[in-house]
Structure 1
Amino acid sequence: MSPLEPISHALAGLIAPVHHGLDALGADPASGSTWLLCIAAVVVMVRVALLPLVVHSVRLAHASAAARPQLQELARRYRNRTDPESVRRHVEERRRISAEHGMSRLGCLPMLLQLPIWFALYRLVSDVAAGTPVGAMGVELVASLGAATLLGVPLAERGYFGAGPTHLAVVAGMAATAAALSYVSQRFFVAPNTVTEALPAAAAATHQWMPVLTAGGLLLAGGVVPVALLAYWICNSAWTLGQSAAVWRWWPTPGSPAAARTGRS
């Protein structure tokens, strides 16, 4: 059994009751709009559940910014001292400063915990769109998704080129929307809220190109993933845009361009 399978089954357990609820309210169970609402609902539920990790990440970024001057001074003091005693004292001082500012040695853990959820949701949507039942999403729901369309384009369809220009316009439009939302988030809210002065030149350059690379990756992937997954990417990117804008405006990282611009440095 794949490590992602339990998570995929849990996510299927979120989508199925939402679909049944919309069906009970009179929505067409095989309608594309019904399934788009299901996808949007699961994005909202997952992202709300992950908000504590977002809060932790913001607090960690602020703690790291507060500790940065002391850590830089410490690194300068021990720059050319490689004897065992100096190395030991350097490590102890770093630990003391980190503890003083509440920095966690597991700083990347919140992001790492989110990755299995994103991969599992990708796998769930891909499997169901391919006609494979997953957990609570049994044969009937899979058939319903397989019959659902958006402007005549099946949500289970893949690729830019299918049944004529309408298919191309729908798929390309959705991929472009997801890419644009991602670019705006990265370029105007995430990048200005990141302190890069202490990063190596290669890492800083990669960070600068990240908005373009992410948007380009979504455009390329748009040609091979199901239309239903493109809908998920749009909803998820829209949430990320709003979340990133809120952090940029009200909780910018001290020392970042965002903090200087909003007057919260």
Structure 2
Amino acid sequence: MSLLDPLSHALAAVVATAHTGLTALGADPDAGATWLLCIAAVVVAVRLALLPLVVHGLRLAHASARARPALRELAERYRDRKDPDSMRRHMEERRRIAAEHGIPRLGCLPMLVQLPIWLALYHLMADVAGGSAVGSMGPDLVTALGAATVLGVPLAERGYLGAGPGHLAVVAGMAVAAAGLSYVTQRYLVATNTVTDGMPETMVRAQQLMPALSALGLVVTGGVVPVALLAYWICNSAWTLGQSAVIWRWFPTPGSPAAARGR
């Protein structure tokens, strides 16, 4: 019994419900297209459920950007004052500034709620692709997923090396597609919507490397995860790209290049 089991079972129920609905409409239960739509349904359900956390993160980023000049001036004022009384006043001033600019007390903590969901989804896809029943995804659905293919490659298959060059082309193409969507999102939308003024040089360099490192990580791990999970990554990355584009266009972080573009 794993702590992630309740989440995995909830996600399995989403997949099973989507599969039942599609087959009721006449879709082939063993077809790859049916299962790709089921995976897309999981993406939509998870991302809609996480929208309140996205809004929280957006408000946090905007509030932090508005408070940054005051916090920087405060840090400069107390830079050489290390006595207990000064440190106490420093913390009180920080709390006051945070309250004035509406920085949430919980900070980034709610965003961490996403991590168990991603882990649970990975384990669900890996277990079902490996032939194990999970919650509402009983043996019949597991068998149906095992029979499903995308361009001739089973969704339950893993790795770049399989039945010839066609297998390599499909799996590598899916991994590169997910990596490309991730790179575009990080490089052209997230990075330009981030305030780097006053940020340590090492953090700025790390942020500049992040898009390439994230894309490379997806390409590498694409060779060891089920093809079904690659399909999920593509759908999820496409959602992230669209969501980030909306934020970049209409809700840019104050002081960021994206915000300066709209002036």
Q: TM-score range by the shorter chain?
A: over 0.9
Distance 1:262 1:225 in 2: 41
- Deviation, structure 1 residue 204: 1.4
Shift of 1:97: 0.6
State how far apart, in whole Å, the 2-side matches of 1:176 and 1:182 are.
10
2:190 match: 190
The within-5 A match list for 1:1-265 is: 1-263=1-263
Give the Cα–Cα distance (whole angstroms) in 1 for the partners of residues 173 and 44 of structure 2: 22
- Aligned residue for 1:104, secondary structure, equals coil
**Once the two structures are aligned, what percentage of the paired residues are identical?**
72
Flag as ranges the 4+ runs of structure 1 deviating above 6 A: none
Looking at structure 1, the residues matched to 110 and 205 of structure 2 have their Cα atoms a distance apart, in angstroms, of 24
Structure 1 residue 110: Cα displacement: 2.9
TM-score for the superposition, normalised by structure 2: 0.98
Tell me the number of residue pairs that the alignment of Structure 1 and Structure 2 aligns: 263
Q: CA–CA distance in 2 between the matches of 1:219 and 1:5? A: 28
Deviation digits for residues 77-130 of structure 1, max 9, x if unmatched?
A: 000000111001000000011111111232212320111111111110111000
CA distance, structure 2, for counterparts of residue 225 and residue 164 of structure 1: 18
Please, which runs of 5 or more residues in structure 2 have no aligned partner? none
Between stretches 79-88 and 110-119, larger displacement belongs to 110-119
For 2:21 and 2:176, the matched residues in 1 are separated by 31
TM-score (norm 1): 0.98
Letter in 2 for 1:211: P
Letter in 2 for 1:156: A
Is the CA contact (8 Å cut-off) linking 1:54 and 1:110 kept in structure 2?
A: no
